[in-house]
Amino acid sequence: MKLYDDKRAPNPRRVRMYLAEKGIDVPLVPVSVAERENRKEEFKQKNSLQQIPVLELDDGTCIPETLAICRYFEVSQPAPPLFGETALEQAQVEMWNRRIEFQLLSTVGAYWRHCHPFTKALPGRIEEAGLQGKERALVILNWLNEEIAGRDYIAGDKFTVADITALCVIDFASFVGVPIPEGAKNLLAWHARVSARPSAKA
């Protein structure tokens, strides 16, 4: 078993952090997106969308997609539960994880793709789309700050995969130039709390 990984990308970090929380050790195979190693034909055989991360099992089966990889391990090693235990907890974790992905990651991703200097070589860049993404991301960060008032974690009183997604996305947002607003005290406190976990360094 091995995990195809890029240390600089947010989605592989989500899997590494999840595995660290579980205490699961999986050998990492570096794939440099910056050097377009994920665009090679050999890697395309593992994931036709040529994205990372990808988990390759011992029999050669490949599992792309961040949450699909995490769910594979959640079944094989349920403790500690990171997707919730009760039906309500699982629904809440799923809801918050999707909100972070669709409302924040997608908007930050638009700014990254269309406006950041690192992606200037990409074809079809539309600056206006990137700037709209940044503006929307800031709205979502302030909204999230209000939503988590009075609780320690994104989906409630327990650390879950929703916190992993949020941390990795928010750290990536800060890297590309969309930091947590200074007035977002709840979100800043949450960020400090989750960043202090050993798994955050995975």
Share of the chain above pLDDT 70, in %: 100
pLDDT given at position 20: 98
- pLDDT above 80 (res 98): yes
Question: How would residue 79 be classed by pLDDT, with cut points 50, 70 and 90?
Answer: very high
Q: Where in the chain is the domain with CATH 1.20.1050.10?
A: 87-201
Q: Domain 87-201 classified CATH 1.10.10.10?
A: no
Measured CA to CA in angstroms, residue 134 lies from 57, 75, 104, 113, 158 at distances of: 38, 36, 10, 11, 30
- pLDDT above 80 (res 116): no
Q: Name the more confident of 33 and 105.
A: 105
Q: Where in the chain is the domain with CATH 3.40.30.10?
A: 2-76
Q: Name the more confident of 138 and 119.
A: 138
Query: What are the tens digits of pLDDT across the range 4-21?
Result: 999 988 999 999 999 999
pLDDT given at position 124: 83
Measured CA to CA in angstroms, residue 59 lies from 32, 72, 186 at distances of: 24, 15, 45
Overall pTM surpassing 0.85 (yes/no):
yes
Torsion over CA: 62, 68, 69, 74 (sign): negative
Q: What architecture (CATH level 2) is domain 2-76? A: 3-Layer(aba) Sandwich (3.40)
